[in-house]
Amino acid sequence: MDAQVDPNAIHPIELRELTLENNLVLAPMAGVSTLPFRLISKEAGAALTFTETVSAKGLVMGGHKTRRLLDSTPREAPVAFQLFGSDPQVLGEACRRLDGEGAAWIDLNVGCPVKKFIKNHAGSALLRDLPRAASIVREMRRGFRGTLSVKMRTGWDAENINAPQFAKIAVAEGAELLSVHGRTRVQQYTGSADREIIRQVVDAAPEVPVLANGDILGPTDVFDMLRETGAAGVMIGRGAMGNPWIFEQTLALARGVSPRRPSREDRYATIERHVGWILNAFDDPRPLATNLKKYLFAYSKGLPGSALFRQRTLEASEVDEILSLTRDFFGSANASIEPDSGRAA
C-alpha cells in the first residue's frame, strides 16, 4: 500500500445527534447537488450530502420552487440543507420552519463568492461582517434542534484571512461542524486550496469536526488533505461530478484495496440510474435537457470518443435524442433508460 495512505484516516464522525458512517462528504453545488446526484453519491459511499444553497428568505416567503430544492427522501438521510441569507431573523425563522418539518441538519453558507450574494451581504460577504455572521448563527441555533453547521471560505482576501477567528465564533454560537473551502472570496476558484489555513481552522475549533474542502480530485488527495490539515473529514465537490466513484475508491484505498476504475458496465448502470432519477423529475424547475447534459458531459470526460459525444449531445435539444446518444455512447444498444428505471422514493 502507498506509504501516504493511512487506513485510519477514514473513520466515522460522532455528532451530538447522529453519527456519520465515514468522513467523506459531498459538497453543496448549486445546480449540481440535486437529489438524483446526491443519491448517486450516497450510493457510492458519501456519508453525508449537502443540498445546493437555498434562500432563507425564499423559504420564509413560502416559495414553492425554493422549497422543492430541499426535496429529499428517507434513503438519503442524513442530508444537510444549506441556507443562505443575511438577515438573522429570517434565517432563524427558516430554521424554525424546517425544524417543524423534521429537518435533521441545516448548514449556513458563508462561502458563496457570487456578486448577487455579496450585494445582499450573504455568502462570503459575511466574512467581512463577523458580528452579523455571529448573530445569524445564534438565531439559527435558537430556531433549530438538529445539527447546525457552517461552511466558509478562508477569508475575504489574502490580507483578511479570518476563517480561524470566525470558526471560534461560529462554534461559540452553536455550530457543531464546520467546512472550510481553502480559498478566499477574491480567489473565487483560482489558485489552489490553502491547506495551511484549513489546518489553522482545525486548530482554532478543536471542539467540533472540521471538513477540509477544495481541489480533491482523486482518492489519494483525500489522504493528503487529511494528513496535512488534521481535519476530521473531507468535503468533495467538483471531483465527484462525473466521478461519484471517488467515494468508493477512497474507501477501498483505506481498506488496502487498489481503487479500480468503474467498468463500462458499472459506469453505464450508474448513469442509467442517475438519468432515470432526473427523468423522474422531482419537480426540478430547471430545463430537463440542459440538466441532463451537464451530468452526461461530466460522466463522459476522459473517455475515448467523448469529444464527439459532447458535440452531438450539445446539438440535441430533445430529451429522447439525448437519451439515444447516451445509450450509444455509454451502454449497449439494447440497454434502456426509462423514466421509471430508478424511482428514488
Reduced to 3 states (helix: H, G, I; strand: E, B; else coil), residue 327 is: helix
Contact flag: residue 238 with ligand FMN (CB under 6 A) = yes
Residue 116 CA neighbour count, 13 Å, CB half:
2
Contact flag: residue 146 with ligand FMN (CB under 6 A) = no
Respond yes or no: is residue 95 known to be catalytic.
no
Residue 245, all three cell numbers: 466513484
Measured from the CB of residue 181, what is the shortest distance to ligand FMN in angstroms?
4
180-199: contacts with ligand FMN (CB under 6 A): 181
Contact flag: residue 213 with ligand FMN (CB under 6 A) = yes
Phi, then psi, of 175 in degrees rounded to 5: -70, 140
Q: Which residue is nearest to ligand FMN (CB)?
A: 237
By CB under 6 A, how many residues form the interface with ligand FMN? 22
CA torsion sign for 168, 30, 231, 46 is: positive
Measured from the CB of residue 142, what is the shortest distance to ligand FMN in angstroms?
22
In angstroms, the first-to-last Cα distance of the chain is: 39
Contact flag: residue 52 with ligand FMN (CB under 6 A) = yes
Distance CA 181, CA 187 (A): 11
Measured from the CB of residue 281, what is the shortest distance to ligand FMN in angstroms?
21
Q: Check residue 188 and report its DSSP letter.
A: T
Burial class (CB in 10 A: 0-12, 13-18, 19+), 8: exposed
Neighbours of 324 (CB within 10 A): 15
Measured from the CB of residue 43, what is the shortest distance to ligand FMN in angstroms?
19
Nearer Cβ to ligand FMN, position 32 or 292? 32
Nearer Cβ to ligand FMN, position 45 or 111? 111
Contact flag: residue 222 with ligand FMN (CB under 6 A) = no
Active-site residue, from 54, 112, 169, 251: 112
Q: In this chain, which stretch among 26-34, 60-68, 244-252, 330-338 interacts with ligand FMN, using CB under 6 A? A: 26-34
Site track for ligand FMN across 125-144, x = CB under 6 A = --------------------
Contact flag: residue 170 with ligand FMN (CB under 6 A) = no
Question: Closest by alpha carbon to 270, among 26, 39, 23, 24?
Answer: 39
DSSP track, 189-254: T-S---HHHHHHHHHH-TTS-EEEES---SHHHHHHHHHHH--SEEEESGGGTT-THHHHHHHHHH
Nearer Cβ to ligand FMN, position 217 or 257? 217
Judged by CB under 6 A, the residue of 104, 122, 177, 216 near ligand FMN is 216
Phi, then psi, of 15 in degrees rounded to 5: -125, 170
Contact flag: residue 244 with ligand FMN (CB under 6 A) = no
Task: Catalogue the E-assigned strands of 21-122.
Answer: 24-26, 48-55, 79-84, 105-110
Nearer Cβ to ligand FMN, position 20 or 236? 236
Measured from the CB of residue 54, what is the shortest distance to ligand FMN in angstroms?
8
Q: In this chain, which stretch among 108-116, 133-141, 163-171, 318-326 interacts with ligand FMN, using CB under 6 A? A: 108-116
Distance CA 135, CA 140 (A): 8
Burial class (CB in 10 A: 0-12, 13-18, 19+), 328: middle
Contact flag: residue 237 with ligand FMN (CB under 6 A) = yes
Distance CA 317, CA 314 (A): 8
Q: CB of 104 within 8 A of CB of 17? A: yes
264-303: contacts with ligand FMN (CB under 6 A): none
Measured from the CB of residue 284, what is the shortest distance to ligand FMN in angstroms?
15
Nearer Cβ to ligand FMN, position 84 or 329? 84
Interaction site with ligand FMN (CB under 6 A):
27-32, 52-53, 82, 109, 111-112, 151, 181, 213-216, 236-239
What residues are labeled active site?
Answer: 112
